Structure formats: C-alpha cells, structure tokens
Amino acid sequence: MDVFFQFEKKPLLFRNPKFVISCYDPFLVDFCFQRIEQALTAGYYLAGFFSYETGYCFEEKLRTYKVSDFPLIYLGVYESPIRVATPAPRPFTNNNLTDLQLNISYDIYASHIQRIRKYIEEGDVYQITYCIKLLFKFLGDPFLLYSTLLKEQPVPYPAYIDAGQFQILSLSPEMFIKKTGAQVVTKPMKGTWPRGATMLGDIAAHARFRHDEKNRAENVMIADLLRNDLGRIGSAINAPRLFEVSKYKTLYQMTSTVSGRVAKDIPIYELFASLFPSGSVTGAPKIRAMEIIRELENQERRIYTGSIGYITPGRDLFFNIPIRTLLLRDGTGEMGIGGGIVWDSTVQGEWAEGLLKAKFVTDMPSSGGIIL
C-alpha cells in the first residue's frame, strides 16, 4: 500500500507498511482504534483513510449490522515517511474514461431535493449535503490520471493511494483537520460559484459570490456546527477567518477556518468521534442529517466525503476531505458529487452546480463527455 500526499505542496510518501489496519465491519471499528493507539505507542506512523460510513459507527443509533465490501478504515502502519519530489508516472499511451453517467436520473434527483426541502420546512434539519455519483469505465495508469488532473486543476490537499485492489485519486480542495501539538484547525468548505468567462466577468463573479447571502448563510451554518463539535473536546474555540473565497479552474469555493486547543495526547477515537464526518459533508444538525442522507442516497459514499491523511507517533495529524475524488477498481470508477441543500435551493440550480463540480473530469478530452 503506497500513500502519497501533496498537502500544501509538501510531498510525503508512505511505502511498504509493516501491516495494514483495516475494518469492514461496523462493530469492529472500536477495536481498530485500539490497534491505532497501539501502533502510535510503538512509534509508528499511520497513513490511509476513513470512509464516510465510519461516521455512523460513532453513534449507537446510527450503527448498523451491514458489512461493507469497501473498507471503513484502511491505514498502513509505517516506520517513517519519505520526503520526495513527485514520483514520475509510469509511461502509458492513454487514459480512457468511457461510459460516464450519473447513478440517478434527473427526475429522482428532483424528488429527493423536494423531500429535503420538506424536511427543512418541518424543522427536522436546516441543511443537508446531498450526494450523487458519477460512474465510468477506466483503462490506463491511475497515477498518470491523478497527475494529469492535478496539473489541470491544482488543489491544496491532493493525495493518491494505491492499495493494489483499488486506487484513490483525491483532488481535494478541502481540509478536514490539522493537529499540531495541542492546536487543532479545521476548514469547512461550503459554497460554490462558477468562474466568469472573461477577466471582468470573473472579477464580478468573485464579488457576487463573496457577498451572496445564500452561500454565506450555508457557510456560517457549517462553521457554527464545527465550532460546536470541536468545543465538545477542546477549548479556546474561535473562527479567525470566515467566507474566504478560493479560486479554481472552473469555479470558486468558500471556506471558513475554525480552530481550538485539545489535549496533546488526546485519543484518536475521541477526536474522530467528535468531528467525523465533517459537518460540511452532512448538514445540520449532523445526526439527523446523516439519517436523512442514508435514507435518500442509494449507494454508500465509501471514500467520498470520508477523510484521507496521516498520523505521526507524536499524535500530530493532517487529513483532507476527499471531495473531487475518484475511486478506481476492476476497470470501473466512481466519483461523488455533492452540494448543500437549504430551503431556497432549486433543483435546477443544485443539478447545475453538481455538473460544474464534475467538469474537471467530464471535460477531459479522453472522457467523451457525460451521458445524461
């Protein structure tokens, strides 16, 4: 299992693990965290991922008996990372993505959005992050595809995992958590806006997005949720930066920063049980939002909106949120696409936003476009 990070342009490669801590059964998640603690105490690094469905295991009423065909937890145990330049991809003539299609029809999508709005109207939730999937066939070199996508649309928290039986290509613009000593920082992302077609149009789009009431309301709602989650285990909680706009090739996105202090040696289970999954990928309030997500979404999210990262023996850690992330296995691929649904969301607007988020893949010359 090779895990390659380029978080904040600082390449870090984990290769040849001593062993892998993996979990497919919801009722073995607690045991896996015990093994994580044992590995850290023994002086090892851990690198890999937590799938979104791991989040259901932290709440007794959400935990189910279903055993997944994809790992809930998959962490290599390593002696140390290698600080290297970007590995060169193996030469390959082409990367072909074919038969691109969504896992849901527009009509079913519309009915789900209306049901979410009904839940909001009835006071069950304030916001739901609802996700669909882009499915496709893939032939080529996964790392070459990762490198190509990253070159076309640079992001601050990319990662690549080759687990042999599957590969994960994470072109993530969102940080989940960074812990350095006792200091913890999380950066929830909520809010999307298309780039302008001209220089002046782009400047205007940036200004409109920065002051758009709907996006600001969504963003601050999730920032408040993260402040509450972090406040359960930490102190000195604050939000030093709100409504920051980041620019990408096809769109703008809005983030806020929430920080605090926790015990330097806080158990990893306690940290994840309080914060995972991030409120930016569930909605608010989190538990009810996760119940509705499981009711409406017709497939497991798997790696999408989980977390990819590493933990040091000193219990520092750095994890992204794998949005804009491709999962490849057995010649097929999938990529989750999601958005925050609030009362004034429209079916047409949310559908268009999802297609916009997928453009970095669907616009590739080798993809042939999406089948709608």
292: phi then psi, degrees, rounded to nearest 5? -70, -40
Catalytic option among 133, 178, 187, 190: 190
Q: Please say whether the beta carbons of 333 and 361 come within 8 A.
A: no
Counting beta carbons within 10 angstroms of the beta carbon of residue 211, is it exposed (0 to 12), middle (13 to 18) or buried (19 or more)? exposed
Among the listed residues 174, 291, 350, 353, the single catalytic one is 174
Cα 216 from chain centroid? 20
- Compute the radius of gyration of the chain from its Cα atoms: 20
Residue 4: other Cβ atoms inside 10 A: 22
Query: In the numeric block, which tokens belong to residue 274?
Result: 């309080």
Residue 4, CA distances (Å) to 7, 43, 122, 161, 343 in order: 9, 20, 45, 6, 40
Q: How far apart are CA 267 and CA 350, in angstroms?
A: 38
Distance from C-alpha of 143 to C-alpha of 99, rounded to nearest angstrom: 21
Residues 6+ apart with CB under 8 A from 8: 156, 157
Whether 46 and 12 have beta carbons less than 8 Å apart is answered as no
Task: Compute the distance between CA of residue 8 and CA of residue 223 in angstroms, rounded to an integer.
Answer: 22
Residue 181: burial class (beta carbons within 10 Å; 0-12, 13-18, 19+): exposed
What are the residues facing 97 on neighbouring strands? 138
**Which residues make Cβ contacts (< 8 Å) with residue 338, sequence separation at least 6?**
129, 130, 131, 132, 281, 304, 305, 323, 354
CA distance 49 to 307: 6
Question: Is 190 in the active site?
Answer: yes
* Cβ–Cβ < 8 Å for 192, 37: no
Q: Which amino acid is at 49?
A: F
Strand partners, 135: 101, 334
Q: How far is residue 330 from each of residues 44, 137, 167, measured CA to CA in Å? A: 31, 9, 10
Catalytic positions, written as ranges: 174, 190
